[in-house]
Structure formats: C-alpha cells, structure tokens
Amino acid sequence: MPSIMQASHIEKYFGNKGNVTKALDDLSFDVEKGDFVGIMGPSGSGKTTLLNCISTIDTVTTGHITINSQDITKLKKKHLEKFRRDELGFIFQDFNLLDTLTAFENIALALTIQGEKPSEITSKVQATAEKLEITSVLNKFPYEMSGGQKQRVASARAIVTNPSLVLADEPTGALDSKSSRLLLESFEKLNQDLDTTILMVTHDAFTASYANRILFIKDGKIFNELVKGQDTRKAFFNRIMEVVTLLGGDADDVF
C-alpha cells in the first residue's frame, strides 16, 4: 500500500522565549491509502494541533508533512489554499454547513470552488448523496435537518471532490448515539467501498472503535498505537478502553 500521508519528526511550539509550550513533540507516523486512522488523546494532548497542522490551517515549527507526495510545510500560502481545496476534505464537530444554502448546494459548493463543470455537478452530488443515504434531504436547508443528517451532508461535502485525505474533527461530538452510529457506519462504508482515506480525531472510544488503526497522543507524543487487524469491533473497543484507562494517568501519578 502506498503511503498517502507522512509526518516525520514534526514539532510545534507555542509561546515565546522563556515560556515555550511544546504542543507537538517529535511526532512521526504514516497513513496509507485506504486507511481509517483514529487519533485519540485527552484534552490538551495536542490532537487538534496535529489536525490543524495536517490540514494546513496551522504550520509546524519543524519537521515535514507530506501528503500525496507534496511537502505541505514548503508550500506557499497561495498553493496551500489550492492544496487544501483539491486534496483534503473536512468534517467538523459542528457541521459547518452554510445555513443559507440547501443540502444540495452545500455539497455542490465544494465542487464549484474547485471549478467543476456545471454539467457534472448534479450527477456527482446525487451519487455521493446516495452513498450517504441523504437523497431525501437534498432540497432542505440545514435548519430543517436533524444533527445526523447535517453531519452526513457535511461528510458528503467532504468526499464529493474525491480528496486524497478526509480529516474529521470529532465528527460525532454533537450527535446523539444513534446518529453517531449511523454516521460511523457510513464512514466505514466509504472507507471499505470507495477506499477513502480517513483521519479522524476523537476522544470517544466508541467512535474510535470504527477505525482500523488508532494513534494515542499524550503531551504531544505518540503514546501508543493500536491496530484492529482481525479483531471484531467489540474486541477492538475493549483494547481501546484499556489504553484510555492507561492514558488517564499512571497509577504512580495518583499516589
């Protein structure tokens, strides 16, 4: 499997002289094409910073991030915008749908920004909507939809452009458990059927259990890595819970 994303020795410092916080501390990992990677970690572990750096919203202090054989740490601002548009798809915790547009238009927007031919748009949006089972809400406005529907529309927007990498930041954070389950099943389906590469940040073990591989981050470093392998989701979930318990603090810290 070719590697679609590589992070090598990335570091991110905040603050100034005399008062430096290392948000990311010499972090390295690879994501292969068709992978579904979960990133877990407690608050303040640096997982959002990591996501921001990968998504080119923020820049690393040192190190390199390569996506689709392009070193994004070396790209100019103008190219970054183009890169973000063409290579990445985003799913956010609070959906980030434009409330003035219908679901259809929200999805189509990702295509029009890329300069897609108008004639192609309808068919592409329809096809993606079918995969995510949202064809019935395409003509509705965000305020007319449930949270789960909104998040699936947002997901459709993220994948309709066929990005190299889909970045999901706490996608289930604002959903109830039923909607979460539906959404994650769609993710699984996208990952298996379309070979979509997904990088998902979450602190919820249940959500993470849908991934194939999980990186645990603590204090800016990779603390542990779990691979689902041939496990059932339930077994994988239990393994995740073990690590989460460990992550919560060493027994030494308590005493």
Partner 1 sequence: MYFKLSLRNVKRSFKDYAIYFLTITFAVCLFYSFNSISAQKAMLDLSSTQSDMIDVLMRMIGAISVFISVVLAFLILFANRFLIKRRQKELGMYMTLGMSKYHISRILVMETFFIGLMSLAVGLGLGVLLSQGLSVLTGALFKVDMNAYEFVFSTEAMIKTVIYFGIIFLVVMVTNILVMSRYKLIDLLTASRKNQKLKLRKTSTAVIVFISSLILLGIAYGMMLEYGLFYDIAVFWVSIALGAVGTFLFFFSLSGFLLNVLKKNEKLYYNHINMFVLRQINSKVNSTFISMTIICLMLFFTIGVLSTGFSLKESLEKELDQTTPYDATLYDYVDGEEVGTLKEAFNNLELNEYGDTIVFTRHRTDERIINYLKPYSTRDSNKFLDQDRGVDLEVMKRSDYEELVKMQGKEPISLKGEEVLLLTNRTNLKESIRHFVEQEEKIKIRGESYPITSKGMQMLSTKTDSVAMEFMTAVLPDEMAEQLPVFSVTLNVQYEEGKQGVADEKVQEARRMLNQRSDLSTHVLGTTKTGAYERSTGTSAVAVYIGVYLGIVFLISSAAILALQQLSEASENMERYSMLKKIGVTQKGVHQSIFKQVFVYFMMPLALAIIHSIFGIKVVNDALLTAGQSSVLLPSFITAGVIIIVYGGYFLATYSGYKSIVK
Identify which of 122, 117, 192, 180 has the alpha carbon closest to the alpha carbon of residue 146: 180
* DSSP code for 68: T
Binding window for partner 1 (CB under 8 A); candidates: 35-43, 58-66, 75-83, 212-220: 75-83
- Minimum distance, C-beta of residue 117 to partner 1, in the bound complex (Å): 8
Query: How many residues form the binding site for partner 1 (CB under 8 A)?
Result: 33
Nearer to partner 1, 47 or 84 (CB): 84
Cβ count near 29 (within 10 Å): 18
- Minimum distance, C-beta of residue 104 to partner 1, in the bound complex (Å): 10
Longest Cα pair distance anywhere in the chain, in angstroms?
A: 66
Is residue 92 part of the contact set for partner 1 (CB under 8 A)? Answer: yes
- Minimum distance, C-beta of residue 23 to partner 1, in the bound complex (Å): 20
- Minimum distance, C-beta of residue 238 to partner 1, in the bound complex (Å): 35
CA 209 to chain centre: 14
Is residue 4 part of the contact set for partner 1 (CB under 8 A)? Answer: no
Q: Which of 119, 123, 177, 230 binds partner 1 (CB under 8 A)?
A: 119
Site string for partner 1, 184-223 (x = CB under 8 A): ----------------------------------------
CA distance 198 to 222: 19
Cα dihedral: 11, 205, 231, 247 (round 10): 50
- Minimum distance, C-beta of residue 120 to partner 1, in the bound complex (Å): 9
Is residue 81 part of the contact set for partner 1 (CB under 8 A)? Answer: yes
- Minimum distance, C-beta of residue 118 to partner 1, in the bound complex (Å): 4
CA distance 66 to 142: 35
Q: Which of 38, 41, 46, 142 binds partner 1 (CB under 8 A)?
A: 142
CA distance 197 to 164: 7
What b-and-e string marks burial along 57-84, b requiring 16 or more CB atoms within 10 Å of the CB? Answer: eeebeebebbbbeeebbebeeeeeeebb
Burial zone of 8 (CB within 10 Å; 0-12 exposed, 13-18 middle, 19+ buried): middle
List binders of partner 1 among 6-65 (CB under 8 A). 57
Q: Which residues bind partner 1 (CB under 8 A)?
A: 57, 78, 81-82, 84-86, 88, 90, 92, 96-101, 105, 108-116, 118-119, 121, 141-143, 157
